Amino acid sequence: MTQELLTMGLPRPTNPAERYAVLKALIAALSEARAEAESDVLAVAAEVGVKSFSTPAGNVTVVTTSDTVEVDEQALAATLPAEQTMVVPKDWALAAAKKRLRIVQGLPVDADTGEVVDWATVLPGGKRSLRWPATDEQRAAKTAAWEALAARMPGLFGPVQVEG
């Protein structure tokens, strides 16, 4: 659909509603195309066993998420001594308890006491995604892509001001 929008010779939007509708369609098409491209890159990366791709627009890197901890704040708050929440605000006590959490052998552990806590759950990582850091080369590529798109669809993006 993205290619269709760029090549079908859309007329210049004549009112804000047309502009909005075309932009929404373009965003949806670009999101779909990006998801498809990301899936393709991840498949190739898995197939050939690489973590980074060099492109003219900069490196694209495959990253894998780490395990994370999800905290049940109500359960955590119930474990705090009443006198502790009187001395310091409850939010501070919750934040301090969360900071002490570590993942040890797949379990949420209080780093100060070494105890496994029951008010937190470890969520497994392993989700793969792509990273394209904003190097000067990549910022230039983004600017060039934006300018090319804006030139093909005059008036769609309003006044174009590209900042590097």
| pLDDT (tens digit per residue) in 100-151 | 899 999 999 999 889 999 999 999 998 999 998 777 877 888 888 878 777 7
Express each pLDDT in 28-48 by its tens digit: 888 999 999 999 999 999 999
Least confident of 6-15, 53-62, 85-94, 127-136: 6-15
Question: How far from 34 is each of 19, 40, 72, 117, CA to CA, in Å?
Answer: 22, 10, 34, 40
User: How large is the average pLDDT for residues 46-63?
Assistant: 90
Structure token digits, residue 43: 């498949």
> The pTM is what?
0.56
CB atoms closer than 10 angstroms to residue 139: 15
Return the residue matching tokens 């491209």. Answer: 37
For the chain, the domains span 2-50+136-152, 68-123
Which helix (H) or strand (E) element contains residue 37? helix 16-48
| Residue 32, phi then psi, degrees to nearest 5 | -65, -45
What is residue 50's DSSP assignment? -
Q: Are 72 and 120 in contact (CB under 8 A)?
A: yes
